[in-house]
Amino acid sequence: MRLRRLDAWAAVVALLVSLVGCEPPAPERGQAVSEVEAARAEGRIWPEDAVLAVGDEPISAADLEEWVDTFALVEPSHSRPDHLRKALTNRVLHTRVARQIDPRGYARTQQLAERALEDLRSGRGVSAEGPQVQDVSGCWNDKDQDIGMDRWGRAREWNEGEWHLLETLGGWSVVRVLDKPEDDAWLPNSSVQLQHVTFYYLEPATMKREIEDALTRMPIRVLDEEWRDVLPVWYRHLLVEAPDPAAQTP
């Protein structure tokens, strides 16, 4: 009887040891954007130019400022604070969330787009195995054209005929402007003619819903109090207090 009890205890001990040695299952893609990234962000030192953060991604003032002119053109009657708020909620915030949903996909498609940029600039063209170059024309809000605010806004700055790299929502684009208005002739509904090839790491048909869902599980931090009011009221419930910089150690 004593031997049987010892054997039973040995079996229990062996089971416990095996459980301790097991690694937890890898989180699903949606899970990884909440607990893991939020915990990592709690103790980190943010870049000096960061004014806001979502999850593990910092947002600088320059990130917002570079889109202000585009939103000012579209909504000229609105104020500068409103243009900054639109730049955050319609461009910067969601691209930062998308990066954290699939970091590997983000990096992979960036590499593919950079390679396509080199091929197109050299005249070789893109690989037949991947996405192909699309010709699009119209305004930023034309629903039947894949232009978007980001490609349309950048077209104002780029010279015609030159290929450029652009991060877009859930992917990377290589874009060339074929035709656009003169610098002083741009209107909120101006049409442009573009070519682009885009490498998506999130599914275009569902990524907006996926990003909004991920955002509900990501903390938002105000790292510079002067920029607190840029965050719309409907995102304030996601705010957490940033760690005191004086308490952080390198």
Say yes or no: 220 and 192 in one domain.
Answer: no
pLDDT of residue 80: 95
Say yes or no: 190 and 210 in one domain.
Answer: no
Say yes or no: 77 and 190 in one domain.
Answer: no
Say yes or no: 145 and 179 in one domain.
Answer: yes
pLDDT digits (tens, 9 = 90+) for 65-111: 999 999 999 999 999 999 999 999 999 999 999 999 999 999 999 99
Flag the least confident range among 80-94, 127-141, 142-156, 235-249: 235-249
Number of domains in the chain: 2
User: What is the DSSP pairing of strand 239-240 with strand 220-222?
Assistant: parallel
Residue 86 domain-assigned (yes or no): yes
* Cα 207-209-212 angle, rounded to 5 deg: 105
Tallying the residues shown for the chain, one arrives at: 250
Say yes or no: 196 and 221 in one domain.
Answer: no
Say yes or no: 96 and 214 in one domain.
Answer: yes
Residue 109 domain-assigned (yes or no): no
Say yes or no: 163 and 212 in one domain.
Answer: no
pLDDT digits (tens, 9 = 90+) for 184-214: 999 999 999 999 999 999 999 999 999 999 9
Residue 11 domain-assigned (yes or no): no
Say yes or no: 134 and 156 in one domain.
Answer: yes
Token pair recorded at residue 77: 């009657």
DSSP state letters, the chain = -HHHHHHHHHHHHHHHHHHHHSPPPPPPTTGGGTHHHHHHHHTPPPPTTEEEEETTEEEEHHHHHHHHHHHHHH-TTS-HHHHHHHHIIIIIHHHHHHHHH-HHHHHHHHHHHHHHHHHHHHT----TTS---EEEEE-TT-TTSS-HHHHHHHHTTSPTT-EEEEEETTEEEEEEEEE---GGG--TT--EEEEEEEEESS-TTTHHHHHHHHHTTS-EEESSGGGGGGS-GGGGGGEEPPPPGGG---
Say yes or no: 148 and 196 in one domain.
Answer: yes
Is 4 a residue whose pLDDT tops 70? no
pLDDT-above-70 percentage for the chain = 79
Residue 168 domain-assigned (yes or no): yes
- Does the pTM exceed 0.85? no
Residue 169 domain-assigned (yes or no): yes
On whether the CB atoms of residues 137 and 194 are closer than 8 A, the answer is: yes
Say yes or no: 177 and 240 in one domain.
Answer: no
Q: Is 84 exposed, middle or buried (0-12, 13-18, 19+ CB in 10 A)?
A: buried
What is the extent of the structural domain holding 48?
32-102+205-250
Say yes or no: 98 and 211 in one domain.
Answer: yes
Is 15 a residue whose pLDDT tops 80? no
Say yes or no: 212 and 197 in one domain.
Answer: no
